[in-house]
């Protein structure tokens, strides 16, 4: 019984609408204490207020800049490292323990060390965002380069492809879907790095603002910033998912 074949977008909007309505109703009916959860109407009002006052814009800009630099760095370094590791086995084997460690260990625990090196504030946040997302991108790039369908490589060889030809005409295009998947996963982790880095010791940014208002127990302001973070996270992930889908046809069906 699949009568729910509506477009996912409509379903998503409907779902959120129901949640918002239930939330607002629960508070107004006195079922829940607004101190703990605030209400959609209050949050919306706060959002428009902070948007107009420029506070929202400022926090957004700070966080966004940190994210772009940290994530951007990890994309460049990650793809380079992954490419080198796929070409030179020695590089791969030497990087292996490092990546394994960075991947499995709770890296945010290194936050105080970063504070030691870079001081409180923006550079530490960038460092955290970089460190959290770079292993993911490196691993995905390495995988993408290494796991090119052997059938394609054999076919290219049969037509006389040499090393450079193989790299440019087969390996690079074939690895695109996997690399993009890695980029998508890396975004979530970089965002986490930015938010948590700001949580602990910043003077501006979205993470800072939720920590600040949390400390003052001003739930509405806290939730307002939290909502912005959630929307950002969803937007980033969705857009990269869309990009991934665009290149999905480049995958070889095995």
Answer for the pair 239, 136: CB distance below 8 angstroms, yes or no. Answer: no
Q: How far is the CB of 204 from other proteins (least distance, A)?
A: 16
Q: Per-residue DSSP letters for 22-80?
A: HHHHHHHTTSS-HHHH--HHHHHHHHHHHHHHTHHHHHHHHHHHHHHHHHHHHHHHHHH
Q: Which is nearer to other proteins, 99 or 137 (CB)?
A: 99
Closest contact distance (angstroms) between CB of 36 and other proteins is 6
In the block, tokens 């440019």 appear at 168
CB of 88 vs other proteins, minimal distance in Å: 11
- CB of residue 235 vs other proteins: minimum separation in angstroms? 9
| Tokens representing residue 14 in the block | 């409907």
CA–CA separation, 200 vs 121, rounded Å?
A: 9
Q: Which is nearer to other proteins, 6 or 52 (CB)?
A: 6
Task: State the sign of the Cα–Cα–Cα–Cα dihedral 179, 72, 244, 206.
Answer: positive
Q: How far is the CB of 13 from other proteins (least distance, A)?
A: 8
How many Å apart are CA 103 and CA 134, to the nearest integer?
9
- The residue (of 52 and 246) whose beta carbon lies closer to other proteins is 246
Please report how close the Cβ of residue 19 comes to other proteins at its closest, in angstroms: 6
Residues 6+ apart with CB under 8 A from 232: 191, 206
- Which residue lies nearer to other proteins by CB, 145 or 213? 213
Task: Rank residues 48 and 238 by Cβ distance to other proteins and give the closer one.
Answer: 238
CA dihedral 92, 98, 103, 108 (to 10 degrees): -150
> CB-wise, 52 or 119, nearer to other proteins?
119
d(CA 184, CA 138): 13
Tell me whether residue 41 or residue 149 sits nearer to other proteins (CB atom).
149
133 contacts 77 by C-beta, under 8 angstroms? no
In angstroms, give the least distance from the CB of 159 to other proteins: 4
């Amino acid at each position: 019984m699949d009568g729910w074949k509506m477009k996912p977008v409509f379903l998503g909007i409907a779902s959120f609408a129901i949640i918002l309505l239930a939330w607002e109703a629960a508070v107004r009916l006195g079922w829940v204490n607004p101190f703990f959860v605030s209400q959609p109407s209050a949050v919306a009002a706060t959002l428009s207020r902070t948007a107009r006052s420029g506070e929202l814009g400022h926090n957004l800009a700070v966080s966004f800049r940190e994210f772009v630099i940290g994530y951007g760095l990890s994309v460049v370094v990650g793809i380079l490292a992954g490419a080198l590791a796929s070409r030179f086995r020695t590089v791969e084997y030497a990087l292996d323990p490092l990546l394994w460690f960075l991947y499995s260990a709770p890296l945010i625990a290194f936050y105080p060390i970063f504070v030691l090196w870079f001081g409180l504030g923006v550079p530490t946040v960038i460092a955290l965002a970089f460190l959290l997302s770079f292993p993911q991108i490196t691993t995905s790039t390495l995988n993408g380069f290494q796991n090119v369908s052997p059938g394609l490589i054999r076919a290219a060889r049969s037509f006389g492809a040499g090393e450079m030809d193989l790299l440019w005409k087969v390996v690079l295009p074939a690895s695109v879907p996997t690399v993009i998947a890695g980029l998508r996963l890396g975004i979530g982790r970089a965002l986490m790095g930015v938010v948590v880095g700001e949580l602990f010791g910043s003077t501006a940014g979205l993470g800072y603002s939720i920590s600040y208002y949390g400390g003052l127990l001003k739930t509405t302001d806290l939730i307002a910033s939290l909502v912005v973070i959630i929307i950002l996270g969803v937007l980033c992930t969705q857009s990269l998912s869309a990009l991934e889908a665009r290149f999905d046809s480049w995958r070889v069906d095995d």
